[in-house]
Structure 1
Amino acid sequence: MSLVFDHPAVLAALWLALLPWWRLPLATSEPAALVMLPADRLSVVLDLALRAAASLAIAALVFGLARPFLGAQTIEKVARGAHLVLTLDRSLSMDQTFAGRNPQGGEESKSETARRLLTEFIGEREHDLFGVVSFSTRPMAVVPLSDDRVAARAAVDAAATPGLAFTNVAEGLFMALSYFRDRRASASRAIVLISDGAAEIDFRSAERLRARFAEYDASLYWIFLRTAGSPGLFEKPDDARNDNAKAMPERYLHLFFNTLQVPYTPYEADNPAALAQAIADIDRLETRPLVYAQRIPRRDLSGWAYAIALVLLLVGLLAKIVERRVIA
């Protein structure tokens, strides 16, 4: 941490702090003869104290005008947490309730429920770094990995706005994985995918995802917001002809995630309580040691300098008032 000045040239005026040692702005009276004055150590001490206070007051004013500040710095801290990228589905179906209809009365849509619970989740994870990605037809990098809780909550709030029709999970995951590209592996990495549907992933995209997950060693949590009556992740169709990626994209996406060779945990949530339980489970699992850098902004010290000068000037003013009363 270093002391820096915005206007260092002003410090040339520090010589003015020597003026009180030449003369004080107090009334003086010359005695008729020095031998008539008794020794008065208290007066000597008060004189030195007032000169020192005046000198320090001038120096503090000069320092304040020079705008001193402590330079910004980055410190490394160790805590328990993770680097988490919240990857949020913004397809049109997320604006419906778990019952598969438009919200009525006090009902919450799936996106609103996810927003409420994720906002609480972010507030409780004190040492995590959060990033937010939203996706529908195309992915959007909303907030990069950082410890800025305000930005992360605002990004999650924005995800509750109306979405588009298509669910491009692969592109959303590619965007989420890119958040780890230029970061050292100082903590566990995890992608939290929240979606109520899926789409077929082509062979090339599947191979690229396997390679990226292996490269960044990122675990994956999929919270599947299941709409009432829709097939689940673990169900096999009664008719074998329907057992394919086009007819059951969620089931086949789940099977693909199992081949990633990284920690993968799926959750099926068909109501707000199940979603809350899934998020609580992730909160419990992701508590490994985390090394992170905290940026401390510059700290302006001019206010302290002015405050010190004000106190010292008040001391001089009080001395001046008392002097006048004694003379009177």
Structure 2
Amino acid sequence: MSFPLSGPRSSVPSRRRPADLLSTALRWILRFSGALAIALIVLALAGPYHGGETLSRVGEGAQVVILLDRSGSMNDTFAGRTPEGGAESKAAATKRILRDFVGRRPHDLFGVAAFSTSPILVLPLTDHRDAVRAAIDASDRAGLDYTDMARGLAMALSMFATDRADEHHVILLVSDGGAVIESHVQDLLRAEFRKFRTDLYFLFLRTAGSKGMFDQPEPGENLPQAMPERFLNLFFQTLDIPYKPFEAENPEQVEAAIHEIDKLERHPIVYTERLPRHDLTGPAYALACLCIGLLVAAKLAETPLVPRQRSSRTAGAAKAPG
């Protein structure tokens, strides 16, 4: 008996489902949403941001060092008395007026130094206005009696930024008294002033009844020890630099002098402007939550599909006798 090499083909047709483009597209969308949600969460944890660039601009300004006298007499009023009631001390009035001066000059670099027995570097040159105002606020603390103005001027000159030597340099000296500067120190200061091409403004806060820098000496008073303010003014005139003295006997005259200095010091200056950053952490988390929400919605919408024909066959096989 011979057997066929191959049996007859099955007459049962193939049950392959037709391609469902909608299901395929939905499957890829859900996969992409899952991958995108993971990527967005990782990105949000890295703290992304947009912007924050630094731009160079040209404005009007200068490098300004405010040199403040911190001798004990600055704590008195212009009348030479201890402040009482609403009276301002010379230091307090100067502080108030200088704060407004700093606010009117947005492109300047400001530094603050003080001197009494020895010079004090209060704040190096900076464009942070809050720090400059805080340094000026600290200028009305109690000072000492001795005034070493020469060392204060030397410190002010050393504060100018060497990497920006082409910009305009200004020293605003505020004091209520002069000082005797020895001849060899005067020569050193002349050289330093010429080196930095510095403008000098001397704001002399004159106490009522005291000698002024423009007063003519009486017989026997034409000495640096007797009229230090006058001889200090004469020394500044020999520096071969732009120099302008001011004499103020009340807060109003101090304010007028500062306004004039503000008008005079208008020079081209290159300054940097930092644009604010825009934080992208929130949008990244929001998009990640949206992708996760889509996955959760798809999971909740799932329905188990059981073919009816297959279920009936399974039920019939269960009822058949063994």
TM range (shorter): 0.7 to 0.9
- Establish whether residue 314 from structure 1 lines up as the match of residue 290 from structure 2: yes
- Between the aligned partners of 1:235 and 1:45, the Cα distance in structure 2 is 95
| Aligned residues of 2:43 and 2:284 also touching (Cα < 8 A) | no
52-61 vs 132-141, which moves further: 52-61
Aligned length: 290
- Establish whether residue 148 from structure 1 lines up as the match of residue 128 from structure 2: yes
- Between the aligned partners of 1:276 and 1:252, the Cα distance in structure 2 is 25
Aligned AA for 1:174? A
Aligned AA for 1:253? L
1:5-44 residue pairs with structure 2 within 5 A?
34-35=17-18, 40=22
- Between the aligned partners of 1:213 and 1:136, the Cα distance in structure 2 is 21
Aligned AA for 1:252? F
Other-structure match for 2:32: 52
- Between the aligned partners of 1:261 and 1:168, the Cα distance in structure 2 is 22
| Aligned residues of 1:142 and 1:155 also touching (Cα < 8 A) | yes
Aligned AA for 1:269? A
- Establish whether residue 122 from structure 1 lines up as the match of residue 102 from structure 2: yes
Query: How far apart are residue 219 of structure 1 and its match?
Result: 0.4
Task: Please give the TM-score of this superposition, normalised by the length of structure 2.
Answer: 0.81
Aligned AA for 2:82? N
How much identity, in percent, do the aligned residues show?
44
Aligned AA for 2:287? V
| Aligned residues of 2:47 and 2:281 also touching (Cα < 8 A) | no
1:103-252 residue pairs with structure 2 within 5 A?
103-180=83-160, 182-237=162-217, 239-252=218-231
Aligned AA for 2:17? L
- Summarize the Cα distance change of 1:310–1:172 in structure 2 as closer, same or farther, 3 Å threshold: same
- Between the aligned partners of 1:61 and 1:195, the Cα distance in structure 2 is 60
- Between the aligned partners of 1:283 and 1:51, the Cα distance in structure 2 is 66
Aligned AA for 1:34? R
Alignment partner of 2:164: what SS?
coil
- Between the aligned partners of 1:272 and 1:306, the Cα distance in structure 2 is 51
Alignment partner of 2:78: what SS?
coil
- Between the aligned partners of 2:296 and 2:51, the Cα distance in structure 1 is 39
Query: How far apart are residue 280 of structure 1 and its match?
Result: 1.0
- Summarize the Cα distance change of 1:53–1:277 in structure 2 as closer, same or farther, 3 Å threshold: farther
**Larger Rg, first or second structure (1 or 2):** 2
- Between the aligned partners of 1:245 and 1:78, the Cα distance in structure 2 is 44
Alignment partner of 2:137: what SS?
helix
- Between the aligned partners of 1:296 and 1:209, the Cα distance in structure 2 is 40
Other-structure match for 2:249: 270
- Between the aligned partners of 1:39 and 1:64, the Cα distance in structure 2 is 34
Aligned AA for 1:262? I
Other-structure match for 2:79: 99
- Summarize the Cα distance change of 1:315–1:117 in structure 2 as closer, same or farther, 3 Å threshold: same
- Between the aligned partners of 2:145 and 2:163, the Cα distance in structure 1 is 33
Aligned AA for 1:202? E
| RMSD value, Cα | 2.9
Aligned AA for 2:269? L
Other-structure match for 1:14: none
Task: Please give the TM-score of this superposition, normalised by the length of structure 1.
Answer: 0.79
Other-structure match for 1:22: none
Alignment partner of 2:162: what SS?
coil
